[in-house]
Chain A
Amino acid sequence: MPHDRHSSAARTIDPITLEVIGHGLTSITDQIDANISRTAFSPYIYEYKDYAVAITTATGELITTSTGGMPVFVADAVGMAVKDGLATYGRARLHPGDVIVCNHAGVQGQHLNNTVMYTPIFARAGAGAGAGAGAGAGAGAGAGDRDVGVDKDDGDDETAAVELIGFFAINVHWIDIGGTAVGAISFRTEDIFMEGLQLRTVKLWSKGEPVEDMYRVIENNTRFPQELMGDIAAQLGGCLLGRDLVAALANKYGVQSFFDVIEAIFDKSEAAVRKTIRAIPDGVYEAEAFLDNDGVTEMRIPIKVRVVIEDDEITVDYSDMAPQVGSCINSGRYGGGRTTARLAFKYLIAGDENANEGTYRPLKLILPDGTILSASDDAAMALYPIPFPTVIDTFIRALEGALPERVTAAHFGTYSSFRLLGKRPDGSTFSCTDSGHGGWGACATHDGAGPFRTMAHGDSHIIPAELQEALYPIRIESFALRPDSGGAGQYRGGLGIVKQYRILAPCKLFANFDRVDCPPWGIRGGLGGRPGQVTVVRSDGATEVFYKSEGLALEPGDRICVETGGGGGYGEPALREASLIERDLIRGYISQENAQRDYGVRAHSGARVAM
């Protein structure tokens, strides 16, 4: 039997039962994830996967989360809300069939759109085979129970004694929850109250019945009631079905086996991560970077990260992080500080493990109050993740000396968001939001990848030009890789993109490009990538380059050239294989001037050059 110093559960649980239940839990979150993606109304959910599905313990500790969601949610998007619910109601006032929602900034520390909905999971107390000692353990009535079906969603049909075993929780980006700006997203908010309705731990359903008053409150505090109520229905359906599936699993194996398995899952994940950390040389590692500004003032925002490795523990120290700002790129202690630390840790160190509470046990955080990642409860947070990509980049940079083979160069690291808001010739309004995909940093084994969105993003798709042209009065004149944007190195940084628009109807341009003054750096001797920029070419030929814009007026005939940043290079450029340089020249990833400047080579005269 496996030996583990942390828990008696790990000594008694059968390794096969462990895998069978563990696999079952993961597949439940993935199933619900797929259903949410298909049933939701708002494009945030389907296109950006701006939601996460998770199961927690009865105390709100993360057991498992769906794979493939937004990285900002992987760190644990739901635990704080569940813990607030436990503190508010106590277990005694959490009943089967209750469904609770929370988007409170003081609890979750993110913009108010991120709303956690969760429901308690009850299983038959003492059901099943107890400690699960054998491979054939858990002989219960589970498989034959009709309650695993998808057609039933009433959870309070239990007459026997039931026991709270955990929560099924889904965090969804609600499309609009009031506030000063449509979708509650603008640089112009000054405190959280300008950003919309706060729901701090309120019951949406009680004992299997909808709380109609709460539905009315929500429906009348959004600009898009139809879409939001549709999304809420999808979120609710997912919570209830997920709850039933987990309950069926626990009933089948017995709650004691279920609890033992979860403890064992935590312990084993923790042990795996500790082993990885132990292999990193002890030391204090530091790095710093900065954001160009907060979007309103011109002041730089320093991002300083200290990482302490000591035996099998890692401490992320944000003591010198920038103080919270007047604009809305703040986040709270859990939604910001803890989330970025967990996320960076997961990217660089614990990548192979499914995220659960055990994975994060060896991770400690030092975070004073009042920083941009631990802002006060009333701070503006509409654009809270804006600093995240830079924070993660900086964490990785700090460990350059400790993990030379694992670190990557910086990625373009900015939202590079771009939006056109205007009226069509027929008078209807349009809002064309485009995503900034850029180059990622190179690593010890290959060139930087991309263009992708930032490390705070995940499986979000580029909006097709054919769709944009059909929906908005614009013409896309080109959509291409941006040569020379990736930093040189033994491995080259990934390339950004160039996208050219022709404006066909009057509109206003909103843009947010950062990491211009602190462009994506190279690592281990690699060179930096180029930052992004937006160029407007007026129909009279006048040209203007800028990085942030809050409503620049555009006229038909104007053209915009959006260029996104490239990633940094890894290793000395002199170490790059000649064949790769030649390939880059032939493919036009780098120009001849750059090849000469960065690598000191000239193209072979006979090289094919792309038309």
Chain B
Amino acid sequence: MSHAVAIDIGGTFTDLVAFNRAGERVVYTKSPTTYGDFAEGILDCFRKAGIALSDVDLIHHGTTLVINTLIQRSAGRTALVTTRGFRDVLEIARGNRPAPLDLYYQRDEPLIARDFRFEVSERIGSDGTVIEPLDLSELSALAEHLRETSIESVALFFLNSYVNPTHEELAVQHLRQGLPGVFITASTELSREWYEYERTSTVCANAYVGPQVIAYMHHLEERLKAEGFQGTLHMMGSNGGVLSVERTCRQPIALVESGPVGGAIGAGIYASALGFSNAISFDMGGTTAKCTLVEDGRFSVDSVYYVDDYVKGFPIKSPVIEIQEVGSGGGSIAWLDAQNRLHVGPQSAGSSPGPACYGRGGEQPTVTDANLVLGRLNADNFLGGELHLEVDAARAALARIAQPLGYVGEEGLIRMAAGVVAIATVIMAGVIRRISIDHGRDPRDFALIAYGGGGPLHACSLARELAIPMVIIPVEPGNFSAVGMTLAEARVDDVRTFSSRLGEAAISAMDAIYNKMETDGAAALERDFQSPVARFERHVEMRYVGQRHNIKVLVASGADAAQIRHAFERQYKSRYGHADAKAAVEIQALHLSAFARIDHPDIGRLARPHSDTAIAARKVHFDTASGAIETRVYQRSALPVGFSAEGPAVIEEYGSTTLVWPGDRFEIGPLFEIRVHCNVTKGQSHAA
């Protein structure tokens, strides 16, 4: 009897999902994240689940280690080596000020300070020719210096290496020999696209996190082995696929969004399994809400990701599932500014002290407090009753902002609570609208797949705001990121800069490169997963000549220039509303994704065992005009497939609560998902 397991280490909890391959049961456990030694929390989850590691053949693992190391700047000594004349590229960055009217604006400090950035003589031209050979004696002297200064990790960047990486490769080899035990990484191992700042920034981030990730991987493998684990460990990559441990140790930066992508993958697989070609995933946690667009089972994958956001942070050229995020979660604080304007977030009470109703000393009202006052949350059944919520504390906190706004008495307090939720809803609807409109899509054509602790609670309000008719709450919304990780495929991505006008002449050159990329991709999958390639996907990055912004177009293998142009125009038009049949089109980059299948659990068997629980009822505020309405309260595990009922309803389960509005109807679908048919045509106000 063996298990496939996913482990998701979050900021507060380590989640585990274990799926018994015999299909008999699925186990969910949670344990506090153990910062001193993350492996402790993982092993604790296995103990709680009652699963022996010798009974586990596959582990998919997501972790926030990489992003935390980058944000907290907690790594050891890292150096950068560049072409002579270019060590400051990292610090100068792109010279832009995303906060244009902030007189005091400054960017985050560079990851590697100027005195740890070094230059060597070498030069490649923009056409790939060697203008000046790499000076190995300089490099040896530098290696000596790096050894003396106890450098743990070295990033290498040479100008124009995207056309000809041989100098970088030679330097890597040379430094590895000269600096045994030091992590050495070069820009072209991570990205073959032009733009020196982006490549430098990426390789520095990779070098920065390298030693910690390697240490973690070795430690974790050792601990798991000691407990009898003989299976395979895969790491969750930001591109939505899993990586081998070996690749993780070379490209740790590929784990930058290792955690949040799990839920998005799960949502994509659910959408496909349920036959929804268009879906938006919506993940609402304690501090943020995140959404992703899924079309025909595919995610949009961004090729640049900003650590600590675009405004102050730095870019990483690594494929990351496009996730739009906004600072609105259950812990988001409602506050008044000097002009008594009401704001919700982005500051969050987090998990400590948490919302006022947690009774841990939080005094400021949060979205969770507002939901509790409205009767939408059950004070006695939050996290399965593990945390009792204090309604009086929530009311007192809300009263603090209600009074200055003139909301008095019981009715005023309810209106205040409804207002806090309404503003959070508008903010979250904004991010969903943004991701769909950015792609030229209308959110009403999508199903909303909601999870995270707060997703199911707000999904039907959001659906009203956005006029989305269908809401899906998958199994285990509170652990859904881990659920998604169990379902992830193996995926390897590759990108090459390829600048050429679209035409038959370009096609043969393009195909030659793609063929090489496919060979490389298949070999990588074979090496990393001992698994044959299941499929390739080609995305060609294109634009009209003269434009600076590219779009990625899915292109079939063997497509000719006319077919590619047609695909480009169709996508361009759907995204921007217009296309130009006459304008010349150029190719900028070639993306290849190679996938291999990994034996994953049957998603029809992910629900917890059935239990019988009595149906209760309580008063819940929906629309403020109607006052509190007597509402049925169901326990989710008691609802069988095919169950159907009218709203209003509250469906409770461990880690989440689903709110079904009056006028809505819900049913339990074939994958144990809750399907809510939202009554959006009446256009109920969201502000309730």
Contact = CB atoms under 8 A, between A and B. Distances in A.
Q: Do A and B come from one complex?
A: yes
A443 B103 contact: yes
Contacts of B437: 31, 35, 150
Contact of A453 (B88, B95, B117, B682): B95
Classify the secondary structure of B's interface with A: loop
Interface in B428-477: 430, 433-434, 437-438, 440-442, 444, 464-467
Interface in A382-397: 396
Contacts of B89: 479
Interface in A26-41: 27, 30-31, 34-35, 37-41
Given A481-B92, A497-B92, A464 B195 contact: yes
B674 interface: no
Interface string A565-585: 000000000000000000000
A143 B465 contact: yes
Contact of B687 (A20, A149, A608): A20
Contact of B95 (A35, A451, A589): A451
Contacts of B580: 230
A215 B333 CA distance: 51
A497 B93 CA distance: 12
A470 interface: yes
Interface in B382-413: 404-406
Given A68-B100, A230-B546, A408-B104, 14 more contacts: A1-B405, A2-B405, A18-B341, A19-B342, A37-B549, A41-B547, A69-B100, A71-B100, A74-B100, A351-B103, A437-B92, A445-B104, A481-B92, A610-B115
B688 A39 contact: no
12 contacts: A23-B430, A31-B437, A34-B434, A39-B576, A41-B547, A68-B98, A134-B415, A252-B683, A458-B96, A460-B95, A481-B92, A589-B114
Interface residue tally on A, bucketed by range: 35 or more
Contacts of A466: 126, 159-160, 162, 194-196
Contacts of A70: 100
B615 interface: no
Interface of A: 1-2, 15-20, 23-24, 27, 30-31, 34-35, 37-43, 46-47, 68-71, 74, 134-145, 148-151, 153, 226-227, 230, 233-234, 237, 241, 252, 268-269, 271-272, 275, 343, 346-348, 351, 396, 408, 435, 437, 443, 445-446, 449-453, 457-462, 464-467, 469-470, 475-481, 497, 500, 586-589, 608, 610-611
Contacts of B101: 71, 74, 343, 346-347, 351
Given A40-B547, A351-B103, A449-B106, A151 B430 contact: no
**7 smallest A-B Cβ distances: which pairs?**
A478-B85, A458-B100, A16-B419, A1-B406, A469-B126, A46-B548, A144-B683
A429 to B, nearest CB: 15
Given A143-B467, A226-B546, A464 B341 contact: no
B194 to A, nearest CB: 4
Interface of B: 84-89, 91-107, 113-115, 117-119, 125-126, 131, 142, 145, 149, 159-160, 162, 194-197, 337-343, 404-406, 415, 418-419, 422-423, 426-427, 430, 433-434, 437-438, 440-442, 444, 464-467, 499, 544, 546-549, 575-578, 580, 583, 623-625, 680-688
Contacts of A150: 437, 440-442, 577
A479 B100 contact: no
Contacts of A478: 84-86
A77 to B, nearest CB: 13
B587 to A, nearest CB: 14
Contact of A470 (B126, B434, B625): B126
Contacts of A460: 95-96
A46 B343 CA distance: 32
B103 A408 contact: yes
Contacts of A477: 85
Given A144-B467, A464-B195, A268 B339 contact: yes
Nearest to A22: B341
A70 B577 CA distance: 25
B97 A136 contact: no
Contacts of A69: 100
A351 B104 CA distance: 10
A153 B106 CA distance: 40
Contact of B547 (A2, A46, A346, A462): A46
B423 A19 contact: yes
Nearest to B464: A143
A2 B114 contact: no
A348 B104 CA distance: 10
B86 A23 contact: no
Contacts of B149: 608
Contacts of B419: 15-16, 19, 135
A155 B546 CA distance: 31
Contacts of A589: 114
Given A35-B576, A143-B464, A587-B115, A15 B405 contact: yes
Contact of A459 (B86, B100, B196): B100
A461 B623 contact: no
Contacts of B118: 610-611
B409 to A, nearest CB: 14
Contacts of B96: 452, 458-462
Contacts of B145: 611
Contact of B125 (A233, A435, A457, A469): A469
B569 to A, nearest CB: 14
A136 B426 contact: no
Contacts of A227: 546
A478 B195 CA distance: 15
B583 A230 contact: yes
B28 to A, nearest CB: 36
Contacts of A459: 96-98, 100
B106 to A, nearest CB: 4
A426 B117 CA distance: 39
Of A136, A467, A500, the most chain B CB neighbours within 10 A belong to A136
Nearest to A141: B683
A271 B686 CA distance: 29
B576 A237 contact: yes
A150 B433 CA distance: 11
A15 B100 contact: no
Contacts of A34: 434, 438
Contacts of B91: 481
Contact of A137 (B95, B441, B687): B687
Contact of A608 (B85, B103, B115, B680): B115
Nearest to A343: B101
Contacts of A451: 92, 95
A39 B427 CA distance: 25
Contacts of A1: 405-406
A27 B433 contact: yes
A143 B442 CA distance: 13
A351 B102 CA distance: 7
Nearest to B466: A143
Nearest to B438: A34
A526 B472 CA distance: 61
B160 A469 contact: yes
A108 to B, nearest CB: 20
Between B94, B441, B444, B685, the greatest number of chain A beta carbons within 10 A of the residue's beta carbon is seen for: B685
Contacts of B159: 465-466, 476
A354 B624 CA distance: 31
Contacts of A479: 85-86, 88-89, 92
Given A19-B423, A43-B548, A233-B578, A586 B115 contact: yes
A71 B105 CA distance: 14
Contacts of B197: 462, 464
A465 B339 CA distance: 48
A529 B374 CA distance: 59
B687 A136 contact: yes
B627 to A, nearest CB: 11
A611 B142 contact: yes
A150 B577 CA distance: 8
